[in-house]
Chains A and B, each alone.
Chain A
């Protein structure tokens, strides 16, 4: 079967750095996505990785290792508004998105 694993919940301090890990086992790979989802809202796109390496976008960076089936989302200079769930999703060989359950990030002052 296909599955994506992420920690259920993480806590970090305002101004600090946090890394959210994601491991995946899918039938084929056509890209990995990270989304942010605030409570009661739809997910919003953060980043996309299809090749190995690091993609940087402002305070957010995402890393991919296809050989290890592993990705992480790095959030720097944390702000209170970053409190949300972060979803990892992979497009499989059929280009269907397979979703992780999300990591709830709690930011403390």
Chain B
């Protein structure tokens, strides 16, 4: 399967600060990256879709100014949670798009805790 590296695996930050999460696809070029959020005992929720060299597409209810996505190269996409609040505490997972009829592969996930 695809090799996807996501960092950090966990982070604790103070309320009001910003946190950057990196996702690298190590063995193929990812034109599109999906960013998910998962709250405890809930399903994966798609937050946004990033496309290399263009603006990300955000799902309804997701604030684009709060969750900044950058997809500057075919191997790296970043998600920055700005002015984090405790309600942003969640598990964030990236998944590069490998085509319509293929299974999804994921980064290791980032457990964000905002105190």
Q: A residues touching B (Cβ–Cβ < 8 Å)?
A: 4, 8, 30-31, 33, 35, 40-45, 48, 50, 87, 89, 91, 95-97, 99-102, 104
Contacts and interface: CB of A to CB of B under 8 A. Distances in A.
Interface stretch (B12-20, B60-68, B78-86, B101-109): B101-109
Interface of B: 1, 6, 34, 41-46, 91, 93, 100-101, 103-109, 111
Given A42-B106, A42-B109, 8 more contacts: A35-B104, A40-B109, A45-B103, A97-B44, A97-B46, A99-B44, A100-B43, A101-B41
A44 B44 CA distance: 13
Nearest to A48: B103
Contacts of B108: 41-42
Contacts of A31: 101
Contact of A97 (B6, B104, B107, B111): B104
Nearest to B44: A99
Contacts of A104: 41
A30 B101 contact: yes
B104 A41 contact: no
A92 to B, nearest CB: 11
B43 A42 contact: no
Given A42-B93, A87-B44, A33 B101 contact: no
Nearest to B106: A42
6 nearest A-B pairs in the assembled complex, by CB-CB distance:
A42-B106, A99-B43, A101-B43, A45-B103, A42-B109, A99-B44
A8 B46 CA distance: 20
B28 to A, nearest CB: 16
B109 A41 contact: yes
A40 B9 CA distance: 10
Nearest to B1: A45
A45 B2 CA distance: 11
* Most chain A CB neighbours (cut-off 10 Å) among B1, B34, B43, B106: B43
